[in-house]
Amino acid sequence: QTSTAPCNFLYLDEFGVTSVFPTVASTRGGVTVTVVGFGLLNEQTAKCRFGVETSQMFVTSKTDATCSTPNQTFASEVFVDFAISINGADFKSLGASAFNVYRKPVVAETDPIGAPLEGGTVVSVKGEDFAARAAQILLCKFGEQVTPASFVSVTQILCVSPTASTTSLEPLSVSLVGSGDSLLGYTTLEWSEVTRNFTFYNQPTIDFISPWDGYVAGGAIVTVIGSGFQGGPSPSVDQCRFGTVITPADVKGNTEIVCTSPAQSSAGEFSVHVSLNGRDFTPSRRHLFRYISTYTSATTVPTLIPTGGGAPLAVTPSGGGSFFPPTYLATCLFSSAVNASSPEKASSIATSQYPFAAGATCESPQLQTNTGWELEFSVNRQEGGGAP
């Protein structure tokens, strides 16, 4: 049976594609590409084809059109054919390897999660698909600032934080640039989805520390007074550094941080620094903590004193080491061992003519127990410097 109803058939002028921009996109799709060609018509059947997947082509003139890259599944980077069609059936190709498709990287975590405004912090970025492109250039973006990155593995790259003018929380993303993509300009690049933010903060400052003396065995509770101790990233990684030895810190407020002096291998003066991100420490300044050699034993004269206090005691190191040059925190520590679980304790201020290394003079405190007492010499009213 035949029909006599009229049927219209459109004969197309010669058409074709001369270029597409950009020529690269990730498998996730959604990137708008600009097509330049000739003989283009704005038909509902007009298509762009990326390999085997197609998307609608929107024609704006006989020479210009746009389309969006489709979502595709590839295990690795590929180069595919790019072609266009007016009727959805007949395609004209730009070339068998004209379009580059790759897996977009994913950012899972950063270390540290923030850095001072001065920039220059090496940031470890971990995630997936950091080696998804051949001959690639790695880039990180903090907010709108782009910095180079270096490859470590398929799951890790290293970025360098840029300088920032004000404290802020900025999105961090990564892009993989192919060998020829730099000619396209960074504004056309695809960036990883924002899953992590990066904090830019003011570096804290130190005004003074107390005490500034302690023994090489460590253990002194050191209070650091300054400003900006609560201005770091959240969560912060608060640390103190004595010379090159790092120890955890406890932030008490924006102007106070407390840390325990770590052990050192030798006596001497060591600079004290603070970090809020576990990576960047306050600049080198003259905030010094003096480590003193621990003496092994001390001799006390007399060895028998009244419980009422007030008896002068001469204390000298007898087993090596020294006490210390004069310090305002020098103290004699008395401890009763009658109750081992809760010993009675007392202390008195130590005085001496220079040098302390030759010995010190203490005045016995009022004691509650008529029994044996242990005595240690301390340079900071906290810790004894050796065996009693």
More confident: 179 or 304: 304
Q: How confident is the model at residue 12 (pLDDT cuts 50, 70, 90)?
A: low
Residues in the chain: 388
**DSSP assignments along 7-25, one per residue:** ---PPPPP-EEEEEE--EE
Place of tokens 């090596």: 320
Mean pLDDT of 356-369: 67
pLDDT at 270 over 50: yes
**Rounded CA separation 58/56 (Å):** 6
Q: What is the mean pLDDT of residues 208-217?
A: 87
- Whether the pLDDT of residue 248 is over 60: the answer is yes
Instruction: In whole angstroms, give the CA distance from residue 199 to residue 111.
Output: 11
**CA–CA gap between residue 27 and residue 151 (Å, rounded):** 21
Amino acid at position 182, single letter: S
Lowest mean pLDDT among 29-33, 227-231, 342-346: 342-346
Most confident of 1-10, 96-105, 240-249: 240-249
Where does the pLDDT of residue 258 fall: very low under 50, low under 70, confident under 90, or very high at 90 and above? very high
Cα 83 from chain centre: 46
User: Taking residues 252-260, what's their average pLDDT?
Assistant: 96
CA distance 326 to 290: 12
CB 39 within 8 A of CB 15: yes
What stretches of 91-144 adopt beta strand conformation (E)?
Answer: 91-102, 106-111, 114-116, 122-128, 137-142
Lateral strand order in the sheet of 312-317: 298-301, 312-317, 360-363, 345-351, 331-336, 373-378
Percent of the chain with pLDDT over 70: 74
Q: Whole-prediction pTM value?
A: 0.72
Share of the chain above pLDDT 90, in %: 45
